[in-house]
Amino acid sequence: MAGPELMGRFPAGLALDTLPEPPTKPGNGHLQDWALRPLPLIEEGATRARAAGRGLFRLRLGLPAVVGFSPAWNRALLSDLPTFRSAGSFSRVVPYLSGGVILADAPGHAGRRRMVNPGFGRAHMVALQARTRAALPPLPPGEFDALAWADEAVLRLLNAAYFSGEFDHALLHAFLAPLRRPFPVPALPRPPLFWAVDRELRRLSHARLRAGGGDDLLALLAPLPGGLEEARVSLAAAHDTTTHALAYAVWHLAQHPQWHAPEHHPAVLKETLRLHPPGWMGSRRLGRDLVWEGVRLPRGALALYSPYLSGRDPALWDAPEQFHPERWAHKPPAWAYLPFGGGERLCLGMHLAQMLILDALAALPPLRAVRGDDTPVPGITLGPRGPLVVCRADGA
């Protein structure tokens, strides 16, 4: 499955160092740029790869690493779970994301997903919708920062969906806040905070068991083996991703008010996620040696895919840097648009995130962009530097 259209163009079994790479810094390879300016680094890598007729480049991150952005690479990485393994991915070093389905690998992963999927399926979203709609906070009067508003809104929406709004709000805020800070803050262990969250999860799940169930997400997860861990880990995966997508979507609507109507919002959200995918880079470790585009990729190497690079690849999209929701009148190229990943590991919360964001957009009055800095800042997730100051355009 190694990019058949490219295989014939390269002799099989070339060494890894024959792949194009962005410029290195003496002594640390790409580590410094990876830490300080990863987007220009990967954009330069992709430019050099394209110039060499390839869909793959290498990075020197202290261990062999490759970044691919072609649809063929995306399909292989997301479909061949025994080869592209999650157990050694970047999520392993972030305690928030180190557990549950996120780190489960084939063959156990599929079973875990089957177990947790029902709570997050489209049908169950309908059961949650009245509660999440009621939890959306009102807009502040006058000018306000759409990023700060989205942050608070998503906290309340997730509290409503997972816990019927019963989780201690300040604790939920304190739990999720470090995720937004630059590295290494999200990777630091925080035992007392995690114990407090687990205690709160146990308290709320006992209440549901005593009441004989319930229909919020915790009620569905709590009886499953490892269900409370799935709740904690998926909350961490949910918050910043959904906040950043909502903030960027509000900002785009304030700048392009002609798209602010419920029938256009699905295309606005897709275009927002193409340009600013919060999950900008996904990582795996190779579980075996692999020959790709004629190059030997060694077992244990980091294998990365990037919804950001694939979503902006000029070979796949017309005017890729432009915000053009009308492009969604047509299907995108297969395996080119991956804001929620794909295959068996497709984002567990995709339907939840889409429902929360589309409902929030539908409830917004006409808006006007006042001033802001929407430069994408990559951390664990990609988000706008902010603030994104908007105000009501209807005079209310």
Catalog residues that contact ligand HEM under the rule CB under 6 A. Answer: 101-102, 113, 120, 234, 237-238, 241-242, 245, 277-279, 282, 339-341, 345, 347-349, 352-353
Q: Which is nearer to ligand HEM, 48 or 264 (CB)?
A: 264
Amino acid at 208: R
Judged by beta carbon, residue 54 or residue 285, the one nearer ligand HEM is 285
Shortest reach from residue 354's CB to ligand HEM, in Å: 8
Closer to ligand HEM by CB, 10 or 128: give it. Answer: 128
Query: Cβ closer to ligand HEM: 277 or 294?
Result: 277
Cα–Cα distance measured from residue 56 to residue 10, given in angstroms and rounded to the nearest whole number: 13
- Rounded Cα–Cα distance for residues 376 and 281 (Å): 13
111 or 223, CB closer to ligand HEM? 111
- Residue carrying structure tokens 């808006």: 367
Q: Which residue's beta carbon is nearest to the bound ligand HEM?
A: 349
Of the candidates 225, 208, 226, which has an alpha carbon nearest to the alpha carbon of residue 217? 208
| 386 φ/ψ sector (left φ>0, alpha ψ -120 to 50, else beta) | left
Closest to ligand HEM by CB, 29 vs 277, is 277
How far from 325 is each of 59, 180, 241, 339, CA to CA, in Å? 33, 28, 20, 15
One-letter amino acid at 209 equals L
CA distance 164 to 10: 56
Specify whether the CB–CB gap between 241 and 307 falls below 8 A.
Answer: no
Residue with tokens 């295989």: 7
Closer to ligand HEM by CB, 20 or 384: give it.
384
Strand partners, 284: 303
What is residue 262's three-state secondary structure? Answer: coil
Closest separation in Å from C-beta 307 to ligand HEM? 6
- DSSP for 287-307, please give it: SS-EEETTEEEPTT-EEEE-H
Q: How far is the CB of 51 from ligand HEM (least distance, A)?
A: 27
In the complex, the smallest distance separating the C-beta of residue 22 from ligand HEM, rounded to whole angstroms, is: 22
Angstrom distance (rounded) from CA 78 to CA 228: 26
**Which residue lies nearer to ligand HEM by CB, 28 or 129?**
129
CB of 72 to ligand HEM, least distance (A): 17
Helices (H) and strands (E) in the chain, counts: 15, 12
Rounded distance, CA 202 to CA 94, Å? 23
Spatial CA neighbour of 74 closest among 298, 303, 278, 317: 303
Q: Name which of 55 and 100 has its Cβ closer to ligand HEM.
A: 100
- CB of residue 125 vs ligand HEM: minimum separation in angstroms? 11
State which residue, 353 or 380, has the beta carbon closest to ligand HEM.
353
- Give me the phi and psi of 284, to 5 degrees please: -140, 170
Closest separation between CB of residue 182 and ligand HEM, Å? 20
Q: Which of 357, 138, 394, 135 is nearest to 251 (CA)?
A: 357
